[in-house]
Amino acid sequence: MNIKYIPIYTDDVEKQLRFFTEKLGLETCGCKNILFGQECTIIKTNNPGVFLMVIKQTKTNTVTPPIILSTDDCLNDYYSLKTAGVSFYNEPQYSPIGLGAEFSDPTGNRYLLIEERIYS
């Protein structure tokens, strides 16, 4: 498993995107529907395989966003982590981006384990 997406919530998406692109020199690389059924803009970082997700802050998504972990085999990692005593909020389920399951660490930080899939 690897960290893949770091969510960034904002009430002004365009301002946030200008900050990342104009001030930090990062580049956008598309949009995806990953969290809470919301489309978000993906920003490529200088760390290979790690991306920022810029998401419009709304009254319905005030829950602390999860750290997104990438996996090549969600079901295998889900069962391995569950066997190791990790507590999951849900069993793996399909979403527009792939197969995922959410869990937390002992202090309540949330994680989304995702196996990205292309359905077209």
Q: Which own/partner contact pairs does 39-42 have at CB distance under 8 Å and 24+ positions apart?
A: 40/7, 41/13, 41/17, 42/5
Tokens of 56: 């419009």
Is 71 within 8 Å of 116 (Cβ atoms)?
Answer: no
Domains annotated for the chain, with CATH where assigned, are: 2-116 (3.10.180.10)
The predicted-structure confidence for 72-112, as pLDDT tens digits, reads as follows 999 999 999 999 889 899 999 998 889 999 998 766 768 89
pLDDT of residue 76: 96
pLDDT band at 44 (very low <50, low <70, confident <90, very high): very high
